[in-house]
Amino acid sequence: MKKRIAVLGLGAVVGAWFFLQGKSVSSPVSVLTEAEQIKEVAGRGLASVPVSPEPAATGGSETAASVSSSAAPTPAASAAAVATAEKAKAFPPLSEGEKKSIQTLTRLLADSEKRTPQQLAARLKTAGLQPQVVVDANPDTGKMTVTRTKNTLPGTRYFHAQIVETESGESLVQHMSFEVRPGPDSMVVATARVREMFPDLGTPNIQREDYLFWRKDGRVVSLKRMNEEDLKHNYFNAHSKEDVGTVWVTIEIDPEEDGHEHRS
């Protein structure tokens, strides 16, 4: 795709709207509940993606041990990861219904290739998520359809999708993500579901206790258990300190292969 998709910081706009509305960031509802508000903050950004992924680790089981550190994080990053894991333990483990929710949304991410905005909206409606869709188009960056949801599935929130239309008229999922609530097993369960729904990913390019990152076939798949700093710099969703330990599950275009600008 020849046109570059510029990265815009969404956090300030989203957060300002959210707090002006007087809503609690811990409430499991979408920030955006009206089409005009979606258009206001839709943006064309990608999630934070490392410029040069660190060496991969060996192994690949779906146990807590499989999420062990292999990328030599800084002492500060290690301390933040430990503190975040400890805070997540204050929440109850995921229920069977919440695990099913994660499976449903992860399957949606895995099936995202070549999905049109209309097909995505239909899937979300079937799941009872009341999709809210806004089309954003301009001569410089082309046409993008942004989809968020009014409802949520138990244990999850903030479903967000950006689908662009290529010059040939094909639909291309630029970004799709959702969040899993904090919990002692949230990272392990989300990791297991990703491995289940993306069986060809292989060994992660980066594999740590709080972060997994795969780069394959022009796509990036990642999971991040977010600490306080991560929450502050998340440009897609509004958060508070009570959300520390939230797991962000993401699939998107690989900016290294597609020529997109991105945060490092």
Burial readout 218-245 (b: 16 or more C-beta within 10 A, e: otherwise): ebbbbbbbbbbebbeebbbbbbeeebbb
Greatest mean pLDDT among 54-63, 74-83, 214-223: 214-223
How many domains in the chain? 1
Q: Residue 209: give the domain boundaries.
A: 11-258
Torsion angles phi and psi, residue 24, rounded to 5: -75, 130
Within a domain: 174: yes
Q: How far is CA 202 from the centre of its chain?
A: 20
Is 264 within a domain? Answer: no
Half-sphere exposure at residue 87, Cβ-oriented, CA atoms within 13 angstroms: 20
Kindly state whether residue 78 falls inside one of the protein's structural domains. yes
pLDDT digits (tens, 9 = 90+) for 139-181: 777 899 999 999 999 999 999 999 998 888 889 899 999 999 9
With respect to residue 166, please indicate whether it lies within any of the assigned structural domains: yes
Is 138 buried (19+), middle (13-18) or exposed (0-12) by CB count in 10 A?
exposed
pLDDT tens readout for residues 100-113: 999 999 999 998 87
> Residue 102 carries which side chain, given as an amino acid letter?
I
Q: Residue 131 — φ and ψ, nearest 5°? A: -65, 145
Question: What is the residue whose two structure tokens read 């991105």?
Answer: 262
In angstroms, rounded to a whole number, what is the distance separating the alpha carbons of residues 172 and 174? Answer: 6
Reported confidence tier of residue 249, pLDDT bands at 50, 70, 90? very high
Question: Alpha-carbon distance 188 to 94, whole Å?
Answer: 11
